[in-house]
Amino acid sequence: MLDETNLEQRLATLEQTVAELKRRVIDAPTSSNWLEKIIGSISDEPAFLKALEYGRSLRHADISTDETSE
């Protein structure tokens, strides 16, 4: 079981962490443009990269088909 000193120390650390997080939220730059807020937010996700590759392959398939039909 936790002794009182250890519990107080953990509580003080928690309070300090919460205060730091509040400060970061308050100091964070805000943008009125919703797009600026999300740009780059998923750019390194594997599913996003796979979707980009899929779209690229579809575009190349369309180009090949269009070029041969002309």
Walking along the chain (70 residues) 10 residues at a time, the average pLDDT comes out as 86 96 83 78 88 92 64
Range of the domain at 65: 33-70
Q: Are 37 and 31 in contact (CB under 8 A)?
A: yes
- Single pTM value for the model: 0.39
**Distance in angstroms (rounded) separating the CA atoms of residues 30 and 24:** 12
Asked if residue 67 and residue 37 are part of one domain, the reply reads yes
Asked if residue 23 and residue 44 are part of one domain, the reply reads no
Q: How many secondary structure helices (H) and strands (E) does the chain include?
A: 3, 0
Q: How many domains does the chain have?
A: 2
Residue 35, helix vs strand vs coil: helix
